[in-house]
Amino acid sequence: MSDRKQEKEAQDKAGSLKGIGDGALDLRKYTNQIWLAGLGAFARAEEEGSKLFDTLVDVGKDLESKTRDISETRVEEIKERVRSRTGETMDKMEKAFDERLNKALSKLGIPNKREVEALQKRVQELTAALEELTPEEKEKAKSKGKK
């Protein structure tokens, strides 16, 4: 029985060594599969990453053009508001300047634009009335002016 027992123990040891060898083979197999999976993931990421990068660039271009259009429109609106307010301010300043200038000229006895225009209109009316006078009426008017 001892031979049989020894034989059995030898077979058990061989089987266990075989199991250890199979385990090492399994470990190498899994390690290799993990390595190949990593390489595959890297290749896929590189391939799809390039596509993703290109897609992101396109999306960025679209967004930039949209925001540029919106911002340019907004800037133009603000410019118009500033121009109108500036124009209003300039108009107010011109009006105030004109009023002060007219007051100063009136204090000095210099007629303003309206007064000069009224005088011009009156001179034109009188000139037209003189031209309508007959030669006899002109003589009468001259003789009255000499007295």
- pLDDT (mean) for 91-99: 86
pLDDT category at 17 given cuts 50, 70, 90 is very low
End-to-end CA gap in the chain: 180
pLDDT at residue number 95: 87
- Residue ranges of domains in the chain: 2-110, 111-147
Taken in order 13, 16, 22, 26, is the CA torsion positive or negative? negative
- CB burial of residue 102 (10 Å; 0-12, 13-18, 19+): middle
Has residue 18 got a pLDDT over 70? no
What pLDDT is recorded for position 37? 85
Residue with the two structure tokens 């190498």: 28
Which H, E and C letters describe 50-66, residue by residue? HHHHHHHHHHHHHHHHH
Kindly report, residue by residue over 56-69, the tens digit of the pLDDT: 788 888 888 888 88
What pLDDT does 125 receive?
Answer: 92
The model carries a pTM of 0.31
